[in-house]
Amino acid sequence: MSRFVERHPAWALISIIAIAIMLWLIFATWPPGLEQAVGRKRVFLNAVFNGITLGGLYFLVASGFTLIFGLMRNVNLAHGSLYLFGGYVGYAISASTGSWVLSFIAAFILTALVGVLLQVIVFRRMEGQDLRQTMVTIGLSIVFADLMLWACGGDFYQIQTPNWLIGPVELPLITAIKSSGEPVYLRYPSVRLVIFAASVVIGVAMWLALNRTRIGMIIRAGVDDRDILAATGVRIQLVFVLVFAFGAGLAGIAGVVGGTFQSLSPGEDIRFLLASLVVVIVGGMGSIPGAALGALIIGLAEQLGSVYIPTYAIVVTFLIMVLVLAIRPQGLLAGR
Amino acid sequence: MSKCSMGLLALSSLFLSGAAIAQEKIKVGVTATLEGTYTVLGEDGMRGHQTALNVLGKKIGDKELEFIVASTDATPDSAVRAVRKLIEQDKVQILLSPLSGDEGIAVKNFAKTHPELTFINAASGAQETTYVDPAPNFFRYNMDGAQWQVGLGKYAYEDKKYRKIATVGEDYSFIYTQVFGLVLEFCGMGGQVTNRQWVPLGTKDFASVIAALPDDVDAIYLGLGGADAVNFLNQYQQAGGKAHLMGGSIMIDQTILSSKGNAKNALIGTIAASGQADTWEDPGWQKFVKAYQDAFPPNKRFPSPSLLATNYYDSTMALILALRQVNGDLSNNQAKFKEALAKIELDAPNGKIKLDSNRQAIGTNFVTEVVDDGKGALFSKVVKVIPNVNQTLGYDPAVFSKIGLPSRTVPECKKY
């Protein structure tokens, strides 16, 4: 951090000012002039929170994607299918048992298994052949999409939110002051907060696992040079399978999350594949903090865009991607 | 999990049509939105189509109808692609297409490049399709979105005493047309529409849209359909929304009212208007509902047909009856058939339907209110039946043409 400030004092200043303005916008009571210019604070705060929670969901999908890419250089374009598959599994479990938590566990395990199969049957056979892998995964994603359409139909499914999470909670953030002087607090859907908290926990746990544990060390070494790592006697194929399973499992969990606060239907696989591609391109291929930053930026851009410039909201995310590719093609937080 | 009714339906209609080989066939291409946001609507449309075939049969004199189904996703290019495939590859002679508003405009324009064929609109309801530069070989037996809103503005203003409303709608032609009909009538009475929000078709995350809903209005009008509507309601419930709601024709419809989960309960008491009402006591309607229910097992259909099922039923009915009138004669660029289509008067389940000079339906409209049947199922209850609704909504055509075409901001909120 301090190195960044020393090397780019101007950028550091700009980002500090931007963060300060953002914090002021979130915590201060807006003066009437500002409310008139940009609309009510409640709308802004909601958009920011929605952006952050949506970013949480994008992070869950994209972190698995980027982890797999970072270690194995596999561009797994069937990642979106794993997301949708996890969602359908989660729906089936939650509809039959009524347990939301159980649906996460089942979705994680089953999608991880599919991930293992993918790695063992497909990727191991074509190691190092990027183009072939890309083509095969595109093909697989089409096959998976049709299989799921066959099994589950074109209907949209929604995973039932557990009762204790339905409805809003009041946050200690003032959105307005009533004429009586009584402050109005922000009311926000609790399920989204829980989901966001969960994705932060998963993100931090992943970061700790990668940076503080032995297996994390092996994975990081594999990212840097897997041939040397294999030469030191590490069973690299086993590591590959584990990482692939974990990345796929994360996509499965994300499917349950997406099915809870949005919905599951054919086409979602492509949407989330595209979202995670954009996220990792913005954040930097192979970097977990990059995925987190990219997800946050894309989530915020989508939500603020949909409120303040609804007509062009769809373009905003791609504009960001184009900008990043033009200025910093390796991604914002790419390691190398 | 195994709701693959659509694939089965499509397959079975193919098999059924493949059963009799010896006869001469009349090939009809059908499109429905079997992908994307409006999947459920397309599926139920096909059920309505199948119900019509069950009731009326597929024989036209000594010929037999053969149907070929193609899927679209509510985008205009997908519809044109499907129609083109049906014409060029499958060599269909008649088209029953399409389902959604933007698709309708595109298919109508495409119809002009094939003047020898006949296009019967399946369910699309954008005003422009038949109002602006209509194609002579394009026939629409359902009303447009604005006609389907007739009566709603008046009911909201007079009976519900709403004075200020805001609207949320999907950003495309059919919903523009619906809001057009609503605004024209509601503002004509003296009401105010303070805010119109437009969201892209296929929006998943409505949280910010919900947050931006104004507080100081009497009701919020929802012009959403399919997956979008369910997503909206789900997130509306999570956000603890409690405003009075008003609904568009595909919002208050069995596609939404019988969706899974309890988010739909927010709709109880919602007023809406549409080309049909679930609980109408007319014997023709009840007979149709019965035929629909008998045609499919309960878990493969809705408790009562959706607007899409009714539209597909009506358009299939027009197709078969007109073909029978001319005894399947499609010679001379289908001239006789087209003439019969233009003249035919349908005794449809949702009221009498005849066509105007633009080949656009004049029909019956229903103002409804959503009720709980006591067992957790929701239905739209008839409040008012309005017969003979034409495309200019009772306005003088000259005045009507001055209002402009439905768009995000047209019509203005004033009395025309």
Please report where in the chains the tokens 């009506």 appear, as a residue: B314
Residue B226 lies in a domain: yes
- Assess contact for B123 and B142: CB atoms under 8 A: yes
Put simply, the answer to whether A151 touches B1 (Cβ < 8 Å) is: yes
Residue A135 structure tokens = 């083509």
Predicted local confidence at residue A334, as pLDDT: 76
Residue A314 structure tokens = 């769809």
Which amino acid makes up residue A56? G
Which amino acid makes up residue B250? I
Put simply, the answer to whether A156 touches B6 (Cβ < 8 Å) is: no
Predicted local confidence at residue B13, as pLDDT: 52
Does residue B167 share a domain with residue B77?
no
Q: Are strands B138-140 and B118-121 parallel, antiparallel or unpaired?
A: parallel
Does residue B398 share a domain with residue B271?
yes
Tell me the chain A residues in contact with residue B2 when contact means C-beta distances shorter than 8 Å: 151-153
Residue B409 lies in a domain: no
Residue B411 preceded by cis peptide, ω within 30: yes
**Cα B128 from Cα B144, distance rounded (Å):** 9
Q: Is B90 helix (H, G, I), strand (E, B) or coil?
A: coil
Residue A209 structure tokens = 């696992």
Which strand (E) or helix (H) includes residue B389? strand B378-389
Q: For residues A314-320, give the mean pLDDT.
A: 88
Residue B415 lies in a domain: no
**Cα B412 from Cα B404, distance rounded (Å):** 10
**Cα A219 from Cα A200, distance rounded (Å):** 21
Q: What's phi and psi for B401, nearest 5 deg?
A: -70, -20
Q: Are strands B164-170 and B219-223 parallel, antiparallel or unpaired?
A: parallel
Instruction: Assign A335 a pLDDT band (cuts: 50, 70, 90).
Output: low
Put simply, the answer to whether B227 touches A265 (Cβ < 8 Å) is: yes
Q: What is the pLDDT along chain B (416 residues), one digit of tens a residue?
A: 444 445 545 544 544 454 444 568 999 999 999 887 888 899 999 999 999 999 999 999 899 999 999 999 899 999 999 999 999 999 999 999 999 999 999 999 999 999 999 999 999 999 999 999 999 999 999 999 999 999 999 999 999 999 999 999 999 999 999 999 999 999 999 999 998 999 888 888 888 888 888 888 899 999 999 888 988 998 888 888 888 999 999 999 999 998 877 778 889 999 999 999 999 999 999 999 999 999 999 888 999 999 999 999 999 999 999 999 999 999 999 999 999 999 999 999 999 999 999 999 999 999 999 999 888 889 999 999 999 999 999 999 999 999 999 999 989 999 88
Q: For residues A118-145, give the mean pLDDT.
A: 89
Does residue B389 share a domain with residue B332?
no
Q: Show Cβ contacts of residue A266 under 8 Å, excluding neighbours closer than 6 positions.
A: A84, A145, A148, A149, A154, B35, B36, B39
Q: Is A335 helix (H, G, I), strand (E, B) or coil?
A: coil
Q: Show Cβ contacts of residue B311 under 8 Å, excluding neighbours closer than 6 positions.
A: B45, B48, B122, B123, B141, B142, B275
Residue B200 structure tokens = 């892209």
Ranges of H-type helices in B33-131: 39-56, 76-88, 101-111, 128-131
- Assess contact for B182 and B149: CB atoms under 8 A: yes
Task: Indicate the residue of A156, A168, A262 with minimum beta-carbon distance to B239.
Answer: A168
The 8-class DSSP code of residue A322 comes to H
The per-residue DSSP string of B128-177 comes to HHHHSS--TTEEE-S--TTGGGTTHHHHHHHTS---EEEEEEESSHHHHH
- Assess contact for A292 and A63: CB atoms under 8 A: yes
Does residue B115 share a domain with residue B30?
yes
Put simply, the answer to whether A168 touches B7 (Cβ < 8 Å) is: no
**Cα B297 from Cα B293, distance rounded (Å):** 7
Residue B410 lies in a domain: no
The 8-class DSSP code of residue B252 comes to S
- Assess contact for B48 and B311: CB atoms under 8 A: yes
Residue B196 lies in a domain: yes
Comparing CA positions, the residue from B225, B259, B220 lying closest to residue B376 is B259
Which amino acid makes up residue B306? S
Comparing CA positions, the residue from A229, A212, A213 lying closest to residue A221 is A229
**Cα B185 from Cα B157, distance rounded (Å):** 9
Other Cβ atoms closer than 10 A to A17: 10
Please report where in the chains the tokens 């929605």 appear, as a residue: A50
Number of residue pairs across A and B with CB atoms under 8 Å?
Answer: 136
> A6-44: per-residue pLDDT in tens?
777 888 888 889 888 888 888 777 777 777 777 778 888
Residue A336 structure tokens = 């190398």
- Assess contact for B166 and B214: CB atoms under 8 A: yes
Other Cβ atoms closer than 10 A to A161: 23
Q: Which residues on adjacent β-strands are paired with residue A187?
A: A170
pLDDT at A310 over 80: no
Question: HSE-up of B335 (CA within 13 Å, CB side)?
Answer: 3
Which amino acid makes up residue B70? A
Q: Show Cβ contacts of residue A327 under 8 Å, excluding neighbours closer than 6 positions.
A: none
Put simply, the answer to whether A152 touches B235 (Cβ < 8 Å) is: no
Does residue B348 share a domain with residue B204?
no
Task: Indicate the residue of A54, A266, A314 with minimum beta-carbon distance to B35.
Answer: A266
Does residue B116 share a domain with residue B20?
yes
- Assess contact for B71 and B42: CB atoms under 8 A: yes
Residue B403 structure tokens = 């209002």
Does residue B131 share a domain with residue B36?
yes
Tell me the chain B residues in contact with residue A166 when contact means C-beta distances shorter than 8 Å: 237-238
Residue B414 lies in a domain: no
Predicted local confidence at residue A41, as pLDDT: 81
pTM above 0.90, yes or no: no
Q: How far is residue B10 from each of residues A167, A288, A325, B17, measured CA to CA in Å? A: 41, 45, 45, 11
Residue B173 structure tokens = 């032609």
Q: Are strands B244-247 and B59-60 parallel, antiparallel or unpaired?
A: unpaired
Q: How far is residue B388 from each of residues A5, B148, B392, measured CA to CA in Å? A: 73, 12, 11
Put simply, the answer to whether B2 touches A310 (Cβ < 8 Å) is: no
3-state helix, strand, coil in chain B (%, to 5): 40, 20, 35
Q: DSSP strand E in chain A: where?
A: 168-177, 183-189
b/e map of B192-205 (b: 16 or more CB within 10 Å)?
Answer: ebebbbbbebbbbb
Total count of domains within chain B: 2
Q: What angle do CA A80, A84, A90 make, to 5 degrees?
A: 145
pLDDT at A58 over 60: yes
Predicted local confidence at residue B3, as pLDDT: 44
Tell me the chain B residues in contact with residue A42 when contact means C-beta distances shorter than 8 Å: 211
Please report where in the chains the tokens 């297409």 appear, as a residue: B97
Q: For residues A191-201, give the mean pLDDT.
A: 89
Tell me the chain B residues in contact with residue A43 when contact means C-beta distances shorter than 8 Å: 208, 211-212
Predicted local confidence at residue A172, as pLDDT: 82
Sheet holding B118-121: strands in order across? B59-60, B63-71, B24-32, B94-96, B118-121, B138-140
**Cα B372 from Cα B265, distance rounded (Å):** 9
Cα radius of gyration (chain B):
20
**Cα B390 from Cα B307, distance rounded (Å):** 18
CA distance B385 to chain A (A): 32
Does residue B104 share a domain with residue B59?
yes
**Cα B245 from Cα B219, distance rounded (Å):** 5
- Assess contact for B140 and B121: CB atoms under 8 A: yes
Residue B99 lies in a domain: yes
Q: Is B75 helix (H, G, I), strand (E, B) or coil?
A: coil
Predicted local confidence at residue A282, as pLDDT: 92
Question: HSE-up of A284 (CA within 13 Å, CB side)?
Answer: 15
Predicted local confidence at residue B51, as pLDDT: 96
**Cα A156 from Cα A160, distance rounded (Å):** 13
Q: Domain with B157 in it: what CATH number?
A: 3.40.50.2300
Does residue B212 share a domain with residue B158?
yes
Residues in chain A, total: 336
Residue B219 lies in a domain: yes
> A92-121: per-residue pLDDT in tens?
999 899 889 999 999 999 999 999 999 999
ipTM greater than 0.90, yes or no?
Answer: no
**Cα B291 from Cα B47, distance rounded (Å):** 11
Q: Are strands B63-71 and A183-189 parallel, antiparallel or unpaired?
A: unpaired
Q: Is A91 helix (H, G, I), strand (E, B) or coil?
A: helix
Does residue B218 share a domain with residue B160?
yes
- Assess contact for B30 and B97: CB atoms under 8 A: yes
CA distance B271 to chain A (A): 24
Q: Show Cβ contacts of residue B235 under 8 Å, excluding neighbours closer than 6 positions.
A: A189, A261, B205, B206, B207, B210
> A225-275: per-residue pLDDT in tens?
888 888 998 888 888 899 999 999 999 999 999 998 788 888 888 889 999
> Which of A158, A191, A194, A269 to substitute to test the interface with B, most B CBs within 10 Å?
A158
Tell me the chain A residues in contact with residue B208 when contact means C-beta distances shorter than 8 Å: 43, 46-47, 50, 303-304, 306-307
Does residue B231 share a domain with residue B87?
no
CA distance B227 to chain A (A): 6
Tell me the residue range of the domain where B266 lies.
147-280+364-403
Does residue B41 share a domain with residue B186?
no
CA distance B408 to chain A (A): 11
Q: What's phi and psi for B353, nearest 5 deg?
A: -130, 130
